[in-house]
Amino acid sequence: MKKLDLSKTVIISDFDGTLTKKIINWKFVPSLISILREEGVLDKDYSKRAKALFEKYHPIEKDPNISDEDKFKAMERWWKEHYELLKEKGLELQHIKKAVEHPNIQFKEGVKELFEIVLQKRIPLIIFSSSWLGDVSIKMTIERFKLPFDDSVIKIISNKLLFDENWKFVGVEKIIHAMNKRLVDVLKWNEEIQKLIEWKDSYFLMGDSLNDIKMAEWMSFENGIKIWFFMEDKGYQNIRQIWEKNYDIIIPQEENSITKVLEILNE
């Protein structure tokens, strides 16, 4: 196992399914947005149309045989179409709050300790998410579980939802979708992140989907450890082999825990 100098390391982590649990009571819990879709927070027509979008685009997102270029275009369309739908259906801040408070939203074991460690050792933690519900939903989840937080160390990069004076959703500042969720792109417009990682030469990446590895793509880090939270996918028998090649450590989602990550950080 490579050894990272933590004083020069930045942690880059996905949110849904990486920091949050993906399996609760032996059932698959996809993500915050799926609660809007599955639990009737908005109307039935929303659920139907959001599901149709999911069924159209999700197979493209997870197919290892589709080119990055085609995936990029498809993801851009999916995010735009879904945001249009959310606007049409009158998404409000209180709907997001409902999703965040759902019992199926839970952090994995060890996430609170991770926050404590990064704050204590001042290791930058970048939480990177392409969630439609954006940074506001992540902040609310962190507040719900009372995790220690300091935005000079922990940064959330996700879609910035815009609301009107009645907290009705009106649009999004800049769309981060599954394929442009890359630090190299964020550095072009985010000076805070530039400063935060200026002197860092290694990264520690955590993700649970095929595209999460892109978060550190094209960056000039010398060292890195990539962790993948793995789940079988019946559609792709060879997926484990493909990703074992790309990731250094594989943790089964069933463990619902990031304690292995803490062990590495505490070594």
Interacting residues toward Mg ion by CB under 5 A: 14, 16-17, 208
Q: How far is the CB of 229 from Mg ion (least distance, A)?
A: 8
Q: Which is nearer to Mg ion, 16 or 61 (CB)?
A: 16
Q: Which is nearer to Mg ion, 93 or 213 (CB)?
A: 213
Closest-by-Cβ residue to Mg ion is 17
Q: Can you list the alpha helix ranges (DSSP code H) found in 63-133?
A: 68-88, 93-100, 111-121
Which is closer to Mg ion, CB of 6 or CB of 125? 125
Q: Closer to Mg ion at the Cβ: 14 or 135?
A: 14
Query: Least distance (Å) from Mg ion to the CB of residue 208?
Result: 4
CB contact burial 132-158 (16+ within 10 A = b; e otherwise): bbbbbbbbbbbeeeebeeeeebbbbbb
**E strands, the chain, where?**
9-14, 23-24, 27-28, 125-128, 154-157, 161-163, 169-172, 202-207, 223-230, 249-252
Smallest gap from residue 89 Cβ to Mg ion (A): 24
Q: Which is nearer to Mg ion, 61 or 208 (CB)?
A: 208
| CB nearer to Mg ion: pick between 15 and 89 | 15
CB of 206 to Mg ion, least distance (A): 10
Count of H-run helices and E-run strands, the chain? 10, 10
Q: Comparing C-alpha atoms, which of 33, 29, 22 is closest to residue 134? A: 33
Nearer to Mg ion, 83 or 128 (CB): 128
> To which H or E segment does residue 56 belong?
helix 44-62
Q: Please, what is the minimum distance in Å from the beta carbon of residue 58 to Mg ion? A: 12
Beta bridge partners, 28, equal 23
User: Closest approach of Cβ 33 to Mg ion, in Å?
Assistant: 11
- The angle subtended at Cα 53 by Cα 179 and Cα 104, nearest 5°, is 85
Do the bridges between strand 249-252 and strand 9-14 make them parallel or antiparallel, or are there none, so unpaired?
A: unpaired
Please check whether residue 89 is in contact with residue 95, taking contact to mean a CB–CB distance below 8 angstroms. no
CB of 100 to Mg ion, least distance (A): 16
Pick the closest to residue 143 from 180, 112, 189 (CA basis): 112
